[in-house]
Structure 1
């Protein structure tokens, strides 16, 4: 089943196959919204956008809601825990119901891989991917690229290391596709049981020592809720082998920055004192999520 990925199509499902010019257009439009003098506009006045989160979220859900409200849209927030999903209603029927009520777009997060592509074949209103299983999280990658471009001036020529639970990470996949398209070199670093072997054709797996020698060191959250029992060693052992500690920070290039999609397991993948270190861009990433999502929502509804 084909997946509509292009931002010029009806849905915005992922970044694999999206051109560098399209990515640049979104980053440039995010710049426009970041510097817009008015906090709230009427760009999407009269439009109804529903946030359909079938999986828990804090940053992404509130960031999308902030973006929608800043654009002047009417926002309908959906909670699976308080819906007919608890009575056995399918995700398709839920989305189809809201479509029938007249929403203009749906922002959707769900766990089953492949289900979003199936919905996109059947649902007529635009769907925006807010994270689907371990497949993609396109707006997270876009805000990451926006953060890199804002700091370094351009993305082409950068070397970016993505470290941690690659196997279960939709963030790693979306970043990999977008960074390669924009001319950056990507390295992957993970314990053997957290590697996604199919991604080795696009980026090499390297040692932790080599991964630290990049312009951007992006740490991934250890996703306890996605792991089979016994897959993860102790938090202390993970930190010792793959955590970004203060000692490892000293091995990084002086100009290099730290990134993390959050939430952070402090003192596991990242030492507590590094979360708000002057070289950390974690809260800058969170801030940048709003203008990026404004650009994506506006583009999808245009």
Structure 2
């Protein structure tokens, strides 16, 4: 993120949650909670950023994130430009930065960027004009900051603002997950009492990513007594690398089933960033059960993204 929130109260970009202060994170969550009543209905905020333009610049496919940003910008009264990579000049060899500069010249104020490469959004931010704002909608396996924020908002709504009382488990394919990294950044910053991670050894990232976490390889031990279990998608596109012997074996060892959930705290939350592989990392009955807040996470994406856009544009 630039500039550093400790020296400048107004955000220029949101590239990662790493390095953000607890005050900045809390401010974004407070702002999102305040916008919640107007996020899904009503026109009270349609005047707030009327005349400003947001572009979804997605070099990877997306359903939840892209749609959520489109609606968030519309709720704030913005014009929305959806960049279609399949019909763009990038297929003719135009660089991502040249594409951004072209759209910037048309008056785009905010770019929401998803890219397959680590650090790609930060590189675009470095080349953007001073008045342009970039939001990272997921780059490689590096970061997905708005997903991290909406996960924290969902936790806070149901468990309270004191994260020091919580034991949170993140389980599954952490190695390839940008969501896991953003959740870990946020949980640490907000002072989560205990952060657990669990997965096969070859699906866990390096020690630098897991700093301060309790690492488990036995999922039954990992889930015992937790207040929330954040289940991650087993990224099937990686299966050709032979990362797990079989989907059936993975579900047997690391799938969240009703029996395993019964060993968590009685009011434990079940979370998942989506898309879900039912019968692989999570049982369908658990995904749709009374402890699941998966759809609440999706719903919270709208006020969170409104809050981030608003924070970037206020004072701009």
TM-score, with structure 1 as normaliser: 0.95
Q: Offset of 1:199 from its aligned partner? A: 2.0
Deviates more, 1:219-228 or 1:191-200: 219-228
Moved more, 191-200 or 174-183: 191-200
Between the aligned partners of 1:272 and 1:147, the Cα distance in structure 2 is: 21
Q: Distance in 2 between matches of 1:290 and 1:138?
A: 14
Change (3 A) 1:195 1:13: same
Contact 2:11 2:311 in 1 (8 A): no
Q: TM-score, normalised by structure 2?
A: 0.91
Structure 2: distance between partners of 1:51 and 1:156 = 36
Partner Cα distance (1:229, 1:282) in 2: 29
The answer to whether the 8 A contact 1:53-1:108 is kept is yes
Matched, 1:257 2:269: yes
Q: Could you tell me which residue of structure 2 aligns to residue 204 of structure 1? A: 214
How far has the Cα of 1:174 moved from its partner? 0.5
Rounded to whole Å, the distance in 1 between the matches of 2:110 and 2:210 is: 35
Cα distance in 2 between the residues matched to 1:167 and 1:280: 24
Match of 2:29 in 1: 27
Question: How far off its partner does 1:157 sit?
Answer: 2.1
Residue deviations 1:172-200, cap 9 Å, x none? Answer: 10010111110102111111110102323
The 8 Å contact of residues 172 and 231 in structure 2, kept in 1 or not, is answered as yes
Aligned match of 1:188: 197
1:177 equivalent to 2:162? Answer no
Q: Structure 2: which 5+ runs fail to align?
A: none
What value does the CA root-mean-square deviation take over the aligned residues? 1.6
**SS at the partner of 2:114?**
strand
Within-5 A mapping of 1:210-249: 210-213=221-224, 214-226=226-238, 228-249=240-261
Instruction: Return the offset for 1:222.
Output: 0.8
Task: Establish whether residue 159 from structure 1 lines up as the match of residue 164 from structure 2.
Answer: no
Compare 27-36 and 253-262 and name the one that shifted more.
27-36
Shift of 1:5: 6.3
Residue 56, structure 1, aligned to residue 67, structure 2: no
2-side partners of 1:165 and 1:234: how far apart? 14
In the alignment, is residue 137 of structure 1 matched against residue 139 of structure 2?
no
CA distance in 2, matches of 1:48, 1:200: 38
Distance 1:164 1:5 in 2: 32
